Amino acid sequence: MEGERYAFLVEWYDSLAGIVRRYNFLFYPKDSSVEMIDVKNKRIFLKCTKEESIRLDHCYIGSSVNLHGRQLKFVEYSDTFTKTKLSMAKEKTLAIFKPDIMEKMPLLLEILCTEGLQICDVKTVVLSKSAAEEFYREHCAKPFFRTLVSFMTEGPIMALSLLADNAVSRWRELIGPTNSADARSQAPDSLRARFGTDQTRNACHGSDSVVSAERETEFFFGAGNSSSRGLQVPAEFDNCTLCLVKPYTMTQGLLGRVARDIVQAGFDISAMQMYHFDKSTAEEFLEVYRGVVAEYSEMVSELCSGACVAMALTHQHGSACVEQFRQFVGPADPEIARHLRPSTLRAKYGHNKLKNAVHCTDLADDGMLEVEYFFKILQ
């Protein structure tokens, strides 16, 4: 690791100039420093700077990172060292938590984290009949096809794009044999053994090859309008509030634990989705804090620094959901939270005032607006 340097070609769409700019992006894992060189004029664009928010596992072909408000897309490896070291290792797969296991979703997210499977993308959807038929089209002539389609459309599911060394086979191994009964005899620790019921209601899906993984990832996360492709957002818009798990918390692998605490506190997570903020969207979302909170521009940068996950929440006891959740999140400053309200989310998972674990809706009237912003407008 000492002194290693990784090199990538990255692209940034400069919306002011209306052109795509290309840079050689150099990353030094030793101290997380980054240097960028403009490909066109060979000039240094960013001199070597420590960038704590960037980690080597964020840097792979197809990913994007946000650096100082610019969304950089990783397009190619730019030297052989980087290529040989990284290209064969990392692989993506597509996982689904099926309708029968959505109650255990927080626990499953924690398992992904402890197993070292990185979540590159995630969303909850309800599949239409035709979308489920399309997803499982290879099985259309099988006797179990109708049963399978009706099972997969009975409620929300969670689709995840996972990244790891040999992700396809590792996730297949973790979920176990197709039939949950076989799983219990052959692989008792597997997820299908632990959480599945029979040969249909078997808790999880996993792509069977890299090629299937690409098709299935495109199916859920490809560009274009989801609802026109039969992927409906299950968000509940009545008496709701928004929780946004911030980028730093995501990089710490805390999504599952945060979700578990939220559910244990009596909230229901009706929908969840990952987003990458660019600077102008973050400014728009945080507009109400401009001129009010001294750290406004740092808040914007923090929100842009990586992936975050939005959750639409309701509460068992109805109407005061926004205020109830705000209480549960705790004071904005995690230090204060740890002194005054040690069981709150920010006390448990916050790092400092900016990296304070989650954003939550502040005003009762804004609950629905913020949930709609993520689960309708940004869709």
Residue 356's Cβ-count burial label (10 Å; 0-12, 13-18, 19+) is: buried
Binding mask 171-210 for Mg ion (x = CB under 5 A): -------------------------------------x--
Least distance to Mg ion from the beta carbon of 96, Å?
11
Q: Which residues, 148 to 177, sit near ligand UDP by CB under 6 A?
A: 148
Helix (H), strand (E) at residue 71: strand 70-77
> The tokens 């946004």 sit on which residue?
244
Q: Which two tokens stand for residue 88?
A: 């064969």
Kindly tell me which residue out of 93, 124, 180, 202 binds ligand UDP, with binding defined by CB under 6 A: 202
Q: Which residues, 59 to 88, sit near ligand UDP by CB under 6 A?
A: none
- Contacts of residue 137, defined as CB under 8 A and 6 or more positions apart, other chains included, come to none
Query: Which residue's CB is nearer to ligand UDP, number 70 or number 205?
Result: 205
178 sits near ligand UDP (criterion: CB under 6 A): yes
Give, as one character, the DSSP assignment of residue 38. E
Catalytic residue among 58, 139, 205, 359: 205
Query: Which residue's CB is nearer to ligand UDP, number 149 or number 308?
Result: 149
Q: Which two tokens stand for residue 71?
A: 């969304």
Helix (H), strand (E) at residue 360: strand 358-360
Q: Which residues, 108 to 147, sit near ligand UDP by CB under 6 A?
A: 139, 144, 147
Kindly tell me which residue out of 32, 33, 128, 200 binds ligand UDP, with binding defined by CB under 6 A: 200
* 205 carries an active-site annotation: yes
If we measure between CA atoms, which residue out of 263, 247, 1, 234 comes closest to residue 108? 263
Query: Which residue's CB is nearer to ligand UDP, number 10 or number 160?
Result: 160
Kindly tell me which residue out of 199, 226, 252, 379 binds ligand UDP, with binding defined by CB under 6 A: 199
User: CB of 256 within 8 A of CB of 108?
Assistant: yes
AA identity, residue 288? V
- Give me the active site residues, please: 205
Residues interacting with Mg ion, by CB under 5 A?
208
